[in-house]
Amino acid sequence: MSSRKAALEDASHQAGWMFADLLLALMVIFLAAQSFVPKEASLPQFEGLLSNKTSLNGTATPLKTSITLTSIDEAALIIALQNYGAIEHLPASYTIDSMVIAGGFNPATESSDRGTATALQYAAAIGSFNLPYFKNSATLLAASSEVPDGAVVLNLQITPVAPTGDGAVGTTPAPTPSPSST
């Protein structure tokens, strides 16, 4: 008789425990995922988004620079990079490790989404230029009311590339504007 009673027993009372175990497992996964989110202080390359402070302590020291662009133009970007390289006496070869593209917006008439959309347009255009300096660089989009509406500020982290032991340099030299892009 007891085996027949066990066969007729309802297992739905265990559903509550199964639901509680599921919630516990989801909470553990959520809390574990939160511990891997980077904090703002752990991203020093994006600190001071619009500052134009640079330092050059050696050939492998990253530089930070800001370049303002008012139009999506490959030649203007190349000339801006060349001008900055000449001013800071950079070697002929360097890499851009990361860039913050801050799009401008007018806070009186637009939201910060407009600045982010402008930054996204410039990021897509820079990617389409296929310049070797931007090939492996990390990109962060931002918006700032300090940047004029429709323009962007590129905050670049530049690392000069030292020559290798055989005298060769690790990356391609500075790009020159092509006649077709002017």
Which fold does the domain 45-177 belong to in CATH? 60s Ribosomal Protein L30; Chain: A; (3.30.1330)
Q: Confidence class of residue 123 from pLDDT cuts 50, 70 and 90?
A: very high
Q: Confidence class of residue 124 from pLDDT cuts 50, 70 and 90?
A: very high
Nearest to 59 by CA among 165, 158, 138: 158
Give the model's pLDDT for residue 6. Answer: 58
Give the model's pLDDT for residue 50. Answer: 44
- Each domain of the chain, given as residue ranges in start order, spans 2-34, 45-177
153-169 pLDDT per residue, tens: 888 888 777 666 554 44
d(CA 130, CA 124): 11
Tokens of 59: 């050939």
155 Cβ neighbours under 8 A, 6+ residues apart: 46, 48, 49, 50, 51, 64, 65, 66, 99, 100, 101, 102
Residue with tokens 């066990």: 6
Q: Facing residues of 143 across strands?
A: 103
Instruction: Annotate 82-131 with DSSP letters as a single string.
Output: HHHHHHTT--S-EEEEEEEEEEE--TTT--HHHHHHHHHHHHHHHHHHT-
User: What average pLDDT is seen over the chain?
Assistant: 75
- CB 141 within 8 Å of CB 101: yes
Mean pLDDT of 137-165: 83
Residue 51 DSSP code: -
d(CA 5, CA 23): 32
d(CA 86, CA 5): 90
Q: Confidence class of residue 107 from pLDDT cuts 50, 70 and 90?
A: very high
Give the model's pLDDT for residue 116. Answer: 92
143 pLDDT more than 80:
yes
Give the model's pLDDT for residue 53. Answer: 41
13-53 pLDDT per residue, tens: 788 888 999 999 999 998 887 766 555 444 444 444 444 44
